[in-house]
Structure 1
Amino acid sequence: MSAPPDPPRPNTAFRELRGSRSPGEFAAAVRRAAREIGEQVSCDARYVGRVESGEIRCPNYAYERVFLHLFPGRSLADLGFEPREAVRGRRARGARSSDSAPPFTSVRPPLSRTPEFPEDAVAEAVRRIRLHDDRHGADGLYADAGRTLRTARALLPEAALRPGAGADRLHSAAGELALSVGWLAHDSGRYADARSHYAEALATARLADDPALEAHAFSNAAFLARDTGRPHEAVRAAQAGRRAAAALGSDRLRSLLAAREAGGWALLGDRAAVHEALTAARDLFARGAADDGPEWMSFYGEAELTGLEAQCWAALGEYPRAAECARGAVLLQDPHFVRNTALFTAELAADLAAAGRPDEAAAAGGRALVLLDEVRSARVRALLGGAADRLRRWPGSPEVETFRTAVGLISA
């Protein structure tokens, strides 16, 4: 049996080069440097976090050129990276790619009762959860993340005895952690748990007077309400989120909340309201800069907005239009977000099946099944199951039968 891979070592050299800039600010600097030399990289705060945590041991060639331009006179070794040959050697022996997440073991950094509030530690736990979820989905993460949340909760009474900026940051970080754990519950089909965690985050936001956390909580609550067939609640939550976000200065955040509202209107069959909300979402998205949103919104790009639009058309029964949008979402998706690529590919399969295009649906479903080797998400499996059920109307197609058999195996 081969020895397990060494755990990632934090890249302290890279972290020192970031200095006082936030991960989002540093990511924006990386993108500007890329444009200066004609490169295109989709650097965001999460990518910076993956580098600093040691998860990315050596960047790909595009990032290498950008980093060497951004830090002239320095080598990759000076930036804290390992030689590409060493990374490739470990990969050949079975280790994962330098640009992929390692097997998830724990989201629990040391959260102990010390004279200093451990709000950086809680924020790091949130970051690690999101990074792993982007790549691999929620299944298998929930129990461990829940233990981390319980540890963070135990610190809050002590924080209440020490009012001030540190206590406020700890409450906000704990609220973000509750949202992350709630999302894991949501994506893995534990809807009652998700609803409870989102409510906890909303209460924490109001206690800490944190409108950014409140807007995030309402966004997730609207998403959950749509997924569980409560359209009026989805609309109300999204509208409340838009009110909370009004003073935050983030057009991208307001765009996401408008798209969430559109999803609720779609379930209600109100085409005019869907059109109005989607138009607002598109206009706000175009107005906002890519890095003007909070860190948790790094998933929200053109692909996500197009995918949410696809969901609206599917809810309205316009399946050819939904399939067109879902296909666009797959093509636009950043490769880092493997779970979302699997999700939109599964939605494409379901929309094509509903539109009466069985062979195309089976082909898309097959591509989504391949991604399930890396992604564990109850939502994705449910979508593929729904597509397989719809394809029962075409029992004579070999492609359809192959797909339906494969779905049956993952559902067994």
Structure 2
Amino acid sequence: MASSMVTSSQPTHPPRPNLAFRQLRGRRSPAEFAAAVRRSAREIGERVSCDARYVGRVEAGEIRCPNYAYERVFLHMFPGRTLADLGFAPRSSVRGRRARDTGETQGSGDPYETPDAHPHEDRNRTFHEIHENDENDEESDVLRRAFMTGGGATVAAASLGPFGLAYDAAAAERPVRRAGASDAGALEEAVRRIRLLDDRHGADGLYRRAAAPLRAAYALLDAGATRQTTADRLHSGAGELAISVGWLAHDSGRWDDARSHYAEALATARMTGDDALEAHAFCNTAFLARDAGRPREAVRAAQAAQRVGRSLGSSRLMSLLALREAGGWAGLADRIACEQALARAQALFERGSSDADPEWMSFYGEAELEGLEAQCWSTLGDWPRAARHARHAAHLQDPHFTRNIALYTAELADDLARGGHPDEAATAGLRVMDLLDQVQSSRVQTMLATTARVLLPHRRASGVSTFLERHASRPRTA
């Protein structure tokens, strides 16, 4: 029997679904609504890292009252309505609840915020100070409990907080007690934080620091879990974390490391019969194989992903997997098979999003569809067509995905350079250069270096010399 001084990780009463908020979402998917929330936040100078899971938690009633940043955004989105109209409880009804119940210091803030989530606050404040100043945030209770348990993965998740990925690697080596639900929740949060940081800043600065949370996650698996449901969540979370770390390796040019991480995720999926994780692992394996110059492997991995993914009921997932296959066919110079896969991807995409779409696919929208098609046409040497799709991709991309904007614009610059438009290519290249202070991606920098080499014979053209000089003066990263 737990001490009366310790509050259960479960609420006294089951949460009541927020039907009013669900009605306001309408026909938009949780991911689409989350994107609308982020856009509205930018309109009023706020920065929230809303994702599909946050929307789901609100609708499920797990978040009884949003923090102040989300409150301002929601009231801006729905003018004339109050928090009560949006289905939330009065702030006074949740204020200080845990502090009164347990006597613990309350933390928190939006559990999905990234380093620039509070642009108007003093960046020199500590993680602890920020959490104490936001002590009334209902949504952070689950993570706050997780941070207090002291398990390896929870330490890892806490390390992915507002000030980066600093982590005491020795924590991964300490003896770990049997994992509970809070560890699983913290592990899932670690995955989200890595993805959000990567979306904005690219992989180069994250990869080495993200490896320690992954070691901690597998240490928890080795230690065992208190319940089977928790064990399933831990396996899924560890697999997704392996894929995320693999992607950081992939995007920063460490292809052998990426291949190893993806294989680890695939083994975890096969061991537990997790079709969703297996489809994700094969999806990333196909992408890596294409980039590494193994197009036939890319086709086979993408087809394997589609076989296992059909049972998941997500047209958007199948659309992305068709694009992965198209990339492989382009690498094999099979234009007909590539066009067929692209047509299938487009048709599946047009079926729309659904609740069955995996959470990790929040990046996949019309911009990514255009960007991946641009890459296919570029590989096939159709530069005008590739440039057209790359331009659309950069224009359509949600500003939250800074790395992708840099990627699509770098693709555009290269396609324009190879297609005989050096002036336009240089202009696009300079736009990428403007983003490189925010984005650290070896893939983007490699593309830009290739474009510079292609433009070298046109150094006397208007604007080209400016781009070449600026590119040459930029310090090279290790």
Paired position in structure 2 for 1:42: 36
Structure 2 counterparts to residues 228-377 of structure 1, below 5 A: 228-289=292-353, 291-377=355-441
Contact 2:323/2:373, CA 8 A, preserved across alignment: yes
| Other structure's SS at 1:229 match | coil
Total equivalences in the alignment: 381
1: CA distance, partners of 2:120 / 2:189: 30
1: CA distance, partners of 2:187 / 2:168: 8
- 2:469 matched to 1:399? no
| Other structure's SS at 1:334 match | coil
Contact 1:42/1:334, CA 8 A, preserved across alignment: no
Structure 2 counterparts to residues 39-118 of structure 1, below 5 A: 42-43=36-37, 47-48=50-51, 58=69, 63-66=74-77, 69=81, 71-72=83-84, 78=91, 89-90=120-121, 102-106=162-166, 113-114=177-178, 116-117=180-181, 118=183
1: CA distance, partners of 2:227 / 2:54: 32
Aligned Cα root-mean-square deviation (Å): 3.9
Instruction: Give the Å deviation of 1:402.
Output: 1.2
Deviations 1:180-233 (A, max 9, x none): 000000011111000000000000000010000000000000000011110000
Deviations 1:115-140 (A, max 9, x none): 52521111111011001001111111
Look up the equivalent residue of 1:90 and give its one-letter code: E
Look up the equivalent residue of 1:32 and give its one-letter code: G
Deviations 1:81-129 (A, max 9, x none): 99xxxx67538999xxxxxx95523479998534525211111110110
Look up the equivalent residue of 1:267 and give its one-letter code: G
Paired position in structure 1 for 2:267: 203
Structure 2 counterparts to residues 375-386 of structure 1, below 5 A: 375-386=439-450
- 2:195 matched to 1:130? yes
Instruction: Give the Å deviation of 1:389.
Output: 0.7
Instruction: Give the Å deviation of 1:71.
Output: 3.5
Contact 2:165/2:210, CA 8 A, preserved across alignment: no
In structure 2, do the counterparts of structure 1 residues 134 and 323 end up closer, same or farther at CA, with 3 Å as the change threshold?
same
1: CA distance, partners of 2:340 / 2:297: 18
Instruction: Give the Å deviation of 1:145.
Output: 0.7
In structure 2, do the counterparts of structure 1 residues 70 and 186 end up closer, same or farther at CA, with 3 Å as the change threshold?
farther
Contact 1:251/1:284, CA 8 A, preserved across alignment: yes
Contact 1:327/1:345, CA 8 A, preserved across alignment: yes
2: CA distance, partners of 1:163 / 1:60: 36
Contact 1:30/1:70, CA 8 A, preserved across alignment: no
In structure 2, do the counterparts of structure 1 residues 190 and 40 end up closer, same or farther at CA, with 3 Å as the change threshold?
closer
Instruction: Give the Å deviation of 1:33.
Output: 9.2
Look up the equivalent residue of 1:134 and give its one-letter code: D
Alignment match of 2:207 (pick from 142, 147, 152)? 142
2: CA distance, partners of 1:130 / 1:195: 18
- 2:255 matched to 1:191? yes
Contact 1:28/1:291, CA 8 A, preserved across alignment: no
- What is the TM-score of this pair, normalised by structure 2? 0.71
Look up the equivalent residue of 1:362 and give its one-letter code: A
Instruction: Give the Å deviation of 1:29.
Output: 6.0
| Other structure's SS at 1:246 match | helix
In structure 2, do the counterparts of structure 1 residues 295 and 41 end up closer, same or farther at CA, with 3 Å as the change threshold?
closer
Higher relative contact order (CA 8 A, sep 6+): 1
2: CA distance, partners of 1:290 / 1:164: 28
In structure 2, do the counterparts of structure 1 residues 77 and 359 end up closer, same or farther at CA, with 3 Å as the change threshold?
farther
Q: Which has the larger radius of gyration?
A: 2
Instruction: Give the Å deviation of 1:401.
Output: 1.2
Contact 1:46/1:127, CA 8 A, preserved across alignment: no
Contact 1:394/1:400, CA 8 A, preserved across alignment: yes
1: CA distance, partners of 2:399 / 2:219: 37
Contact 2:327/2:375, CA 8 A, preserved across alignment: yes
Contact 1:123/1:173, CA 8 A, preserved across alignment: yes
In structure 2, do the counterparts of structure 1 residues 308 and 27 end up closer, same or farther at CA, with 3 Å as the change threshold?
farther
Q: In terms of mean alpha carbon deviation, does 334-343 or 392-401 score higher?
A: 392-401
In structure 2, do the counterparts of structure 1 residues 175 and 88 end up closer, same or farther at CA, with 3 Å as the change threshold?
closer
Deviations 1:260-291 (A, max 9, x none): 00000001111110111001100111113265
Look up the equivalent residue of 1:303 and give its one-letter code: A
Contact 1:359/1:397, CA 8 A, preserved across alignment: yes
Paired position in structure 1 for 2:237: 173
Gaps in structure 1 of 5+ consecutive residues: 1-17, 95-100
- What is the TM-score of this pair, normalised by structure 1? 0.81
Paired position in structure 1 for 2:26: 32
Look up the equivalent residue of 1:47 and give its one-letter code: C
2: CA distance, partners of 1:72 / 1:151: 41
Paired position in structure 1 for 2:60: none
In structure 2, do the counterparts of structure 1 residues 225 and 115 end up closer, same or farther at CA, with 3 Å as the change threshold?
closer
Gaps in structure 2 of 5+ consecutive residues: 1-13, 39-47, 58-62, 96-108, 111-117, 126-160
| Other structure's SS at 2:474 match | helix
2: CA distance, partners of 1:21 / 1:272: 49
Look up the equivalent residue of 1:141 and give its one-letter code: L
In structure 2, do the counterparts of structure 1 residues 34 and 340 end up closer, same or farther at CA, with 3 Å as the change threshold?
same
Paired position in structure 2 for 1:15: none
| Other structure's SS at 1:58 match | helix
